[in-house]
Amino acid sequence: MNKKIPCLDLKGQHQQIKKEVFEAFEKVYEQTAFSGGHFVEEFEKNFAGFCDTKYAVGVNNGTTALHLAMLALGIGAGDEVIIPANTFIATAWGVSYTGATPVFVDCDRDTWEMDTSRLEAKITSKTKAVIGVHLYGQPFDIQAAKNICKQHNLFLIEDAAQAQGARYLGKPVGGFGEMACFSFYPGKNLGACGEAGGLTTNNEDYYKHLQSLRNHGSVVRYYHDEIGYNMRMGGLEGASLTIKLKFLPDWNKKRKEIAGKYQKGIKNPKIKMQIQPSGHDSVFHLFVVTTEKRDELLKFLNEKNIFPGLHYPVPCHLQKAYTSLGYKKGDFPNSEYLADHCLSLPMYAELSDEDVDYVIDTLNSY
């Protein structure tokens, strides 16, 4: 194949909706509703409906959503929050920004999601919460995590940044914990034309507190009840998200079809795929595989014009930013194995059948 097949290409999606998005931008412009306002509120209402939750709060990015979730729960210095070692680093940032300490737990060998059987061993008198991540778009074992959190009086938060529209036992993610945090970074399944994020919750107190925290700690303009932040969502982002949300079910369906083709078509014993327990309905933000000689396979694919991604090459506990926490290689073997052996295959709704077949055939010839 002469043309390059990247891990992700956002052009097709944005060509498809360009006219509609530009018309919406014009409305935002006419109304000068650039920060918060009507277009953000409209998206919040639609997104809460989509997630089957009572409330949604739009913010400026997904990392902010995690930070604000911690603040709304009263988490701060001296507290510990358990998170998977195998995730994008931002899951840990939200905890660290408050002065609390992220405590890492390994992932499961087969599902690659947080290993809930290792959760209890991480709980101390300082533990306040668990943030589970629906990594690669696949729900983690929510029921097991919920049971443990309930038993030990801990908050459960969903990091659903990669999983807009994923379902657990038939219900959309976003309403299983105290709050769920979403990223609408352009590369996510639902991405804004710009930076954005959001939270969903069924709890009115959290909802009101989050609205105030993102807006300078203010409910009545120029009266500040606590130290707050400027973390509002922009109007252009909100308007683009309302349009894209309409397309999301189709785009996710397309991703699932591509994933199904990969799962059926890749028949190379050197390549392993993520195990999907029944009822854990993924939206395949990423399609990650592992192989013993990762760099060799990467080179082989690059030579055939296929350019996979690496998610993620260094697990959180071995990041330089967290050396002070004292973790070392060998602490979380499954997460470390993934980091050294993972590859993310091309995955986006506009991938053609021909491209998918080409990727499958090439992998099978390796």
Ligand X SMILES: *Cc1c(COP(=O)(O)O)cnc(C)c1O
Shortest Cβ distance from residue 350 to ligand X (Å)? 21
Shortest Cβ distance from residue 293 to ligand X (Å)? 27
Shortest Cβ distance from residue 65 to ligand X (Å)? 7
Side-chain half-sphere CA neighbours of 139 within 13 A: 26
Please say which residue, 62 or 235, places its beta carbon nearer to ligand X: 62
**Beta strand pairing status for 101-105 and 80-84?**
parallel
Shortest Cβ distance from residue 87 to ligand X (Å)? 5
Within 8 A by CB and 6+ apart from 97, the residues are 67, 70
- Strand-pairing partners, residue 273, are 289
Shortest Cβ distance from residue 271 to ligand X (Å)? 23
Question: For tokens 């500040």, what's the residue?
Answer: 224
Shortest Cβ distance from residue 221 to ligand X (Å)? 27
What are 346's two structure tokens?
Answer: 């091309």
- What is the 8-class DSSP label of residue 350? T
CA distances from 131 to 125, 135, 177, 294 (A): 17, 12, 9, 29
Output the residue with the shortest Cβ distance to ligand X: 62
Shortest Cβ distance from residue 62 to ligand X (Å)? 2
Shortest Cβ distance from residue 60 to ligand X (Å)? 9
Phi-psi region of 326 (alpha: psi -120 to 50; beta: other; left: phi over 0): left
Residues that bind ligand X (CB under 6 A): 61-63, 87-88, 90-91, 133, 159, 161-162, 183, 185, 197
Shortest Cβ distance from residue 275 to ligand X (Å)? 19
Nearest 10 degrees: CA dihedral of 182, 171, 250, 247? -50
Q: Where are the beta strands (DSSP E) in the chain?
A: 5-6, 55-59, 80-84, 101-105, 127-133, 155-159, 167-168, 171-172, 179-183, 197-201, 272-273, 280-281, 287-290, 306-307, 342-345
Q: Among candidates 158, 150, 192, 200, which has minimal Cα distance to 46?
A: 200
Please say which residue, 90 or 318, places its beta carbon nearer to ligand X: 90
Sheet strands side by side (includes 80-84):
55-59, 197-201, 179-183, 155-159, 127-133, 80-84, 101-105
Asked if 115 and 334 count as a contact pair (C-beta separation under 8 A), the reply is yes
How many other CB atoms sit within 10 Å of the CB of residue 143?
Answer: 13
Please say which residue, 133 or 297, places its beta carbon nearer to ligand X: 133
With residue 40 as reference, give the H or E element that holds it: helix 38-51
Please say which residue, 259 or 301, places its beta carbon nearer to ligand X: 259
